[in-house]
Amino acid sequence: MVQLSLQTLLPIALCLSSFASAAPVDGLTKRAPKVLGLDFDVVKAPLNETLLSLVKRGTPNSPLINKLYYYITYLLLGSNKQKIGVDIDTGSSDLWVPNSQTSGTVKEYGYYDPSKSTTAKDIHKLFKINYGDKTSSTGEFYTDTVSLGDGSGKLSNFQFASISLTSVSQSGILGIGLNTLEANVVYNGDVPYNNFPLALKNAGYIDNAIYSLYLNTPDATGGSILFGGKDVAKIDGPLITLQHSGEYNRLDITVDSVTVAGNQITVSAPFNLDSGSTVSYFPTDSFNQIVDSLGGDTSNLFYKRPTVACSAATGNLSFTFHGITIDVPLSDIVLETGDGGCFINLFGTDEEAILGDNFLRRAYVIYNLENSEISLGKPKYTTASSIVSL
């Protein structure tokens, strides 16, 4: 999810509380020198009436049905290795986990009990984070031992928040963005602490705070993040590197134009690459042009999305960056309403634009937190692997 800065209110990532089950795949494995692979389960919330009624509770500008995928990985917290599943989020920068005081489904993937860990330390600092979908979490910072997946990659005295109050429903969140986007830095002007990617670097597991995101195909049950490396077997053709644009604490990149149904539409705006948002958000003007090109009907909405003829689900929505084009099949964007019609699963926004999962699944993305750069390539969906460190 995109974490709110003081200046912006971003409509994104409504977190639904329900999801289909997927077999947990734990996983921190050492794959190559100075590269750590973190596997995650893709947990899908099916589009059904229950979920649609849940999203109706959204505030007027909160997008609906926009968080249909979670990327759950497991962490082991404390001396007694409390196993907790967290949603991996490139759009925020803090790790928080629910504790015993939280109520609701957020505890479904486990919760933290510092009284059972001999290495837990309350550092007496309040934590509060507000996300762009208007959810928030409040608690207190601790330091404790955090191990990843299979118990390797142990980080001592790692700082994270133990949350007693939250409106997020799916699980705790592992934010892996720039440390200048940590909530207490943004809201209180605190000095950044070493968040997850930086702690891995400081502990010597990786050389650089760089990671590669491979979300896999829309129907896959798992994907992976490589910290400190890239998997060249999963990249089709060249990788191009883009400097960040937009706000200093976000790794935004500029989309030059998109092509849809034969129309090239100039966009020329920064977008945040956010694994915490299922849907992509365009600046209002380009959104309207995309909808027009597809023949969408904005006077007949389906949960705030334009409806469209299902025949629009052919061809691609092609994104042109400086030096590379990423094709997203329109069948990933034009979805069925369930009663014979279709809708365009995109939003327009006057706030920060977002490339969410429906873009990220069709790209191989390397986040370089050291240089504030993003490298983009086309993904090759394969189980083959050839990992090099970065």
Q: Is 51 in the site for ligand NAG (CB under 6 A)?
A: yes
- Looking only at the bridges linking them, the beta strands covering 172-175 and 82-89 are parallel
* 7/53 with CB nearer ligand NAG: 53
Is 207 among the catalytic positions? no
The residue annotated as part of the active site, out of 133, 231, 274, 357, is 274
Site string for ligand NAG, 276-315 (x = CB under 6 A): ---------------------------------------x
Options 26, 39, 41, 89, the catalytic residue: 89
Q: Where are the alpha helices (DSSP H) in the chain?
A: 49-55, 183-188, 196-202, 284-294, 357-360
Whichever of 10 and 265 has its CB closer to ligand NAG, that residue is 265
Residue 274 designated active-site: yes
Task: CB nearer to ligand NAG: give 259 or 277.
Answer: 259
Q: Does the protein bind ligand NAG through residue 49 (CB under 6 A)?
A: yes
Backbone angles phi, psi at 61, to 5 degrees: -100, 10
Residue partners of 276: CB distance under 8 A and separation at least 6? 1, 2, 12, 13, 67, 87, 89, 90, 91, 92, 131, 173, 356
Give yes or no for residue 238 binding ligand NAG (CB under 6 A): no
Which of these segments, 14-22, 30-38, 202-210, 290-298, binds ligand NAG (CB under 6 A)?
14-22
The stretch among 45-53, 125-133, 136-144, 154-162 that binds ligand NAG (CB under 6 A) is 45-53
Site size with ligand NAG, rule: CB under 6 A: 11
Query: Measured between alpha carbons, how far is residue 331 from residues 172, 261, 362 in Å?
Result: 31, 13, 12
Q: Does residue number 385 form part of the binding site for ligand NAG (CB under 6 A)?
A: no
The encoded tokens of residue 141 equal 């910072």
- Site for ligand NAG, residues 314 to 343, rule: CB under 6 A: 315-316, 327
Residues 6+ apart with CB under 8 A from 291: 298, 306, 308, 344, 346
Shortest approach of ligand NAG to residue 319 CB, angstroms? 11
Provide, rounded to whole angstroms, the least separation between the CB of residue 374 and ligand NAG.
20
Q: Is 48 in the site for ligand NAG (CB under 6 A)?
A: yes
Rule CB under 6 A: choose which of 20, 220, 233, 301 binds ligand NAG: 20
CA 113-116-117 angle, to 5 degrees, is 95
Instruction: Note whether 290 and 232 are within 8 A (CB).
Output: no
Q: Could you please report the per-residue DSSP string of 64-88?
A: SS---EEEEEEEEETTTTEEEEEEE
**Active site residue ranges:** 89, 274
Contacts with ligand NAG by CB under 6 A lie at 18-20, 46, 48-51, 315-316, 327
